[in-house]
Amino acid sequence: MAKVNWKRCYSRNCRSSRIAQESSKAMCRSIDSFLLFLVNLSISLGVMNLLPILPLDGGRFLYLVYEMIVGKGSINLMVYNIAMKIGVAIIIFLIVISISNDIKNLLLKF
């Protein structure tokens, strides 16, 4: 089984373009290394989904735990909706930063 260079992929310079490059390299090596890459990518996305930001599953879990401790219906629907909007704004902000860094790094190559 061919090995994928996870250390390089998960370094602080990890970008979506780097993930695409590593995916292409893994596919060229063998189907085993490509499947291993997909498994690792899936686990990474699963961990990111557990972040305690409300639109994500981690935020919903945190909300359910809060309701179990304090009581059902303890959070006002308006507060819940505001928290959802703030969470979506945080996620969009992180996506914009990620994409802008990718574009900046691609432009610096030329």
Mean pLDDT by 10 residues, the chain (110 residues): 55 67 85 88 91 92 91 85 94 90 81
Cα-to-chain-centroid distance, residue 9:
14
Distance of alpha carbon 97 from alpha carbon 34, whole angstroms: 28
pTM: 0.69
Q: What number of CA atoms fall less than 13 Å from residue 39's CA on the CB side?
A: 7
- Per-residue model confidence (pLDDT) at position 103: 85
- Per-residue model confidence (pLDDT) at position 5: 60
Q: Token pair for residue 40?
A: 């690792």
Distance of alpha carbon 8 from alpha carbon 104, whole angstroms: 19
> Is residue 22 a contact partner of residue 4, using CB atoms and an 8 Å limit?
yes
- Give the position of tokens 């190559």: 109
